[in-house]
Structure 1
């Protein structure tokens, strides 16, 4: 449960414990700015070890160019969550129970992961690169789920929003975060496709979290999805286009189904955290 110790004038909990929808946007925006700044710093500090033309070309490039900025962002998020006293709530049991139809979400995500694994040219990757990809998955899963399915969802629920609003807006914030990829040189068409995909994927992460009652499910599923997608497609820019050489027909079909279900599921979500809390014994 949330720590309700009285806040002092120097304690940030007084501000963050006063619910407001805009604060979810502020937190996600603040994290994105912080991540981009950290990324610029790490690119300059480790410029000789990061291949900007093919960032996945070596383990050091993957770790320093991809994983490190995200890891620093994840640590900053954990520090913020601990400072405002929300660790137990975000990592604890979900307030709103799931529904059986939500099983579709993790099944589709795992099907996509399996298809990407099957479609990967494993001879193309070294053991060091694969190990670095595992680190990327851990960092991405933790950081991006904490800021969207963790902080954003909690803050929108605290503001009294319905679960449909919570699911849709938190997924929209997740999708909009990925527009920042354009600053890394990613083609505008790929950024647009990524935004569409990530909104749907965000919905599936929300559903998976509600279904199992814990954010850890979303963290693990997200942590499996990104590295297996990169391995199957052979790069970051081709992650969600479905046209990369390493992607199989099955992966493409599953991805399309994932996107369709993600958008449809927005209209299927019901309930609110306040109603769910009132039903507790």
Structure 2
């Protein structure tokens, strides 16, 4: 990887608004408020989303469908570069590849243990649609829009990636008020760790599509294995999940240390100042 000297970038050519930290935070907050409001208005608690096909369609699927349309419309209007694909191949440490492998095995184990024949067809279709919409909307928002705003020529890649993971974790905080209770606070931390893995899925693939696919598969297998998973699958998946979280924490520390020396801009990878830089 060739690192060119650092230089700040202005508004990308052809874009209608400059991708800044303030814009990224605003889009994330507006999306979160819209999503939470629609789900709350449905009258269906978070832990009842998959009790029936009606609950799934009326609660999470509807809100995510509306949110996805809004995000795609914003992206089409903003016309930002390096949102869907990185400008060049970024470094992926070996430990990060181990993390991605553990994440993938976890998804496969969960998927293998689900009793698909016991699931109502309409509910299964709703959950699959949910997986597609989750992968599209949440990755487009965080590993797309938000990460692009962090990659504004002023932040290192380490800072951009870790702030994106933090925002992804905080995005799950409203679930506390939608029915998860105190468990939702733990979900915030675990989602933030998952965000590190999803960031590296994007980096390893060079594009956001791989992160979208893995995010959708992770959520689908998580939702279905809760009520339809075999006991052996649960017993294997639980320690795998713990290993994945620990690896994500270690990779996050490694990311903080190693990725603060460079930034990602539309012109490619640039060297960042090291004196007094936050990450």
TM-score tier by shorter-chain length is 0.7 to 0.9
Give, in whole Å, the separation in 2 of the partners of 1:52 and 1:259: 23
CA distance in 1, matches of 2:189, 2:231: 21
Deviations 1:34-93 (A, max 9, x none): 21223344x1xxx6xx6877321222321221111011101100101111112x632234
Q: Secondary structure at the match of 1:186?
A: coil
Structure 1 unaligned regions, length at least 5: 8-12, 236-243
Alignment partner, residue 238 of structure 1? none
**Matching of residue 4 in structure 1 with residue 13 in structure 2:** yes
Tell me the CA shift for residue 124 of structure 1.
3.8
Residue 275 of structure 2 corresponds to none
Question: 1:184 is paired with a residue of what secondary structure?
Answer: coil
Decide whether aligned partners of structure 1 residues 211 and 98 sit closer, same or farther in structure 2, where only a CA change above 3 A counts. farther
Deviation at 1:193, TM superposition (A): 2.0
Distance apart, 1:278 and its partner CA = 4.7
Task: Answer yes or no: is 1:103 the counterpart of 2:97.
Answer: yes
Question: How much has 1:148 moved relative to structure 2?
Answer: 0.6
Q: Which residue of 1 aligns with 2:23?
A: 23
* 3-state SS in 1 of match to 2:13: coil
SS of residue paired to 1:256: helix
Query: Retained in 1: the 8 A contact 2:131–2:219?
Result: yes
How many equivalent residue pairs? 253
- CA–CA separation in structure 1 for the residues paired with 2:115 and 2:166: 33
Structure 1 position 165 matched with structure 2 position 159? yes
- Compare relative contact order (CA 8 Å, sep 6+) and give the higher one, 1 or 2: 2
1:151/1:246 CA distance change after superposition, 3 Å: farther
Taking the aligned partners of 1:194 and 1:89, their CA distance within structure 2 comes to 30
Q: 1:61 and 2:55 equivalent?
A: yes
Cα drift, residue 109 of structure 1: 1.8
Instruction: Name stretches of at least 5 consecutive residues in structure 2 with no aligned partner.
Output: 1-10, 272-279
Q: Distance in 2 between matches of 1:131 and 1:23?
A: 35
For residues 178 and 129 of structure 1, what CA distance do their matches in structure 2 show?
Answer: 23
Task: Report the alpha carbon displacement of residue 145 of structure 1 after superposing the two structures with TM.
Answer: 0.5
**Are residues 1:233 and 2:231 paired?**
no
Gap change, CA 1:203 and 1:103, over 3 Å in 2: same
Provide the TM-score with structure 2 as the length reference.
0.81
Query: Secondary structure of 2:180's partner?
Result: coil
Indicate the structure with greater helix content.
1
* Superposed displacement of residue 219, structure 1: 0.2
Q: Which residue of 2 aligns with 1:150?
A: 144
Please name the residue that 1:254 is paired with. 240
Structure 2 match to 1:241: none
TM-score normalised over the length of structure 1: 0.81
**Which residue is 2:274 aligned to?**
none
